[in-house]
Amino acid sequence: MSLWFKIHDDALDDPRLQRLAPATFRTWFNLLCVASRNGGRLPDIAELAWLLRCGKNPLARRLDELRSAGLIEERDGALRPVKWERRQTLREAGEEPLSGSERTRRWRDRRDPAVTQRDEETSHGDARLTGDREQDQDQESFSAPAAGASDRFQEFWSAFPKRGAGDDAEAPARAAFGKALAKGADAGTIIAAAKAYAAAVAGRERRFVASAARWLSEERYHATPAATPPAEPPGVWVKQGSAEWLAWTAYRGRSAPLDARGGWRFPSLTPGAAPLAA
């Protein structure tokens, strides 16, 4: 059953909140949802990382930011949102959570008991219908991901170029990959484009390589051209010590330099032969 919690509109004027980076602000709101499920307490960082679908290291940094801003605190051996008990009406231990219809009934009763009694039958019927609609919406909004989506992401992640040490970007990339699939993108097309992009940026500096999450969110997989092999340079490659090599050495009067493969590229296979086309 979904639970309600209060969030006050004075958050709009709280500089501690409004100065947070967008990712940290989103983390703060998600922490309130977690606290609502756990009586105001936050679980350990490993469970939090799983609930928030993010890596431990980025989450630890955001928790430190929220501590410094005075928005969460450690009390009784657990992290808690600051002033949680003052802002929420916590249930007694063992008490069942209130449904939406029960919260509405209590609110009406505080305002006008006569109205509550008069509308009780109607409100019960409406609550039953509303509950059915909410359940349908929940099932639609939180449907399970397509089978094999995780495997396709791993295939994409292996193909996409990495930007070097310290690039802790798998969690946002996974989220962006899921959003792309939800919008109708084909996983095979994304993976093929990632391989082409890796070939196109091979050898570039880190600053010239997009992060996987940004590349996905900007839908660059639609524009990435297929990778093409580099054009073969003109001439023909000849191995050192071969008959053709010795012929060229005698013709030139000196030995050619060696490349990394142990040979050199000449205009033709032997001196005097017609040059090979590029």
Mean pLDDT, range 189-200, rounded to an integer: 91
Over residues 14-36, the pLDDT tens digits come to 888 888 888 888 998 999 888 88
CA nearest neighbour of 45 among 33, 58, 26 = 58
d(CA 224, CA 215): 10
Residue 102 pLDDT exceeds 80: no
Mean pLDDT, range 206-232, rounded to an integer: 75
The pLDDT of residue 193 is 92
The rounded radius of gyration (Å) of the Cα atoms in the chain is 32
- State the pTM of this model: 0.34
Mean pLDDT, range 52-66, rounded to an integer: 89
The pLDDT of residue 165 is 57
User: Of 149-158, 219-228, 248-257, which range is least confident?
Assistant: 219-228
Residue 112 pLDDT exceeds 70: no
Residue 205 pLDDT exceeds 80: no
The pLDDT of residue 242 is 92
